[in-house]
Amino acid sequence: MNPLERYVPLVDDEEAFLAACDRSLPSVVRVNTIKATPDRVRRALREEDVTFDPVDWHEGLLRLPDGSPGTNWPYVHGWIHGQEEVSTLPALALEAEPGDRVLDACAAPGSKTTQIAADMDDRGTVVANDNNLGRLSALRHNAERLGTTSVAVSNQDARNLSLSPFPFEAFDHALVDVPCSCEGTCRKNPDVLDEWTFEHVEAIAGVQKGIAARAVQATRPGGTVVYSTCTFAPEENEAVLQHVLETEPCELVEFDLPIRTEPGITEWEGERFDDAMEKAHRVYPHHNDTGGFFCAKLRVTDGEREANENSKRRSEEVTAT
C-alpha cells in the first residue's frame, strides 16, 4: 500500500493531494542576507542568465525551474543556499532576534541553522548540534560558505544534550527539526515511499519524544521551542507533542505562517490529543505546490512555580471543604 493513502482522511481533496505528491519538486534557493540582499541576488542571477521565479510569500526565496541551485557563482560565493520552501518555516516560527541563544538540536546539514543565524543578523549564538559526525562536515562547509560567525557546532545525542560545554545555563529558543519518516519529501525523493514501514514510524517516534523533551528542558522559562517534521504521520507529530505536554513544563501557542496550512488534528485512529493541537500547522503539497510539513510552537513555562501554585490551590480547596 502507498503509505500516503493513510492520510487521505486528513485532506480536503484526495485526488489533488496524491497528484501533487507524485509531481517533482521545483528547485528553490534562499537568499543569504548575511552576504547579499534579495535585489542584488536577482540582479546577479539575471546577469548570469539564470532563470528564476520569485516565491510570492517570501522575498528571499526564488524558484529555479531550469537549473540546479549549485551551478552558479552566487551560490559558490554564499549569496544563496538551496533550501526547500517549507524548510524555511521553522525558523520563521522561531522568531529569533539578534543576541539570542538558540539551539538547533538536529542541525545538519545546516539550512535552518544558517537561516536562523541570518535572521539574527549573525549576532548571538546558534548551537548547531547533530549526533552524526559525517553530516556535521556538511554543516560546517555550509556555514563557512554562507559566512556565518555565530554558529557553534556540537556533536551530541540530542536526547541527552549536555549544556556543560556552553557558557550559559539555558537557551532562549530551540529548534527541534527531528529525524522522521520523511513522507513529505516524496516529491524530491520518491524512494521514501518504497522504503516506508510502520515499524520505522513507531521506532523513530520514540527518538523524537526524547529529543523534544530535552529541548524543552534546555530552554529557559518563557523561551520557545519549535517542533517540526517533514512527515504527515500523526504518530510523529501530534502524538509526540502530546507526550511532551504531559511530561514537560510547556504549552502549545498560536503562531502564523505565510502559506496555507491546516490545523493539527485532535484524534487519530482512536487516540485523542489535546485540543491545543489545533494550534499546530500541517502543510499539504497540493495547497502550496510544496513538500509536506508539520510545525508547532511551544512556550516553556515555569514548572516549579506552577507546581507550587497547584499545590497551594489544592490546599485551599481542602481547607474550604
Note the Cα 203 to chain centre separation in Å. Answer: 20
Kindly report the backbone phi and psi dihedral angles of residue 258, in degrees, each rounded to the nearest multiple of 5, phi listed first.
Answer: -85, 15
Indicate which residue of 106, 230, 250, 295 is catalytic.
230
CB count, 10 Å around CB of 245? 18
Helices within the chain (DSSP H only): 14-21, 38-47, 73-76, 89-94, 111-119, 133-145, 191-195, 198-217, 238-247, 285-288, 303-320
Q: Give the C-alpha separation, 274 to 238, whole Å.
A: 9
CA dist., res. 209 & res. 138, Å (int): 26
Q: Kindly state the DSSP code that residue 56 receives in the 8-state scheme.
A: T
Q: Is 21 a catalytic residue?
A: no
Catalogue the active-site residues.
Answer: 230
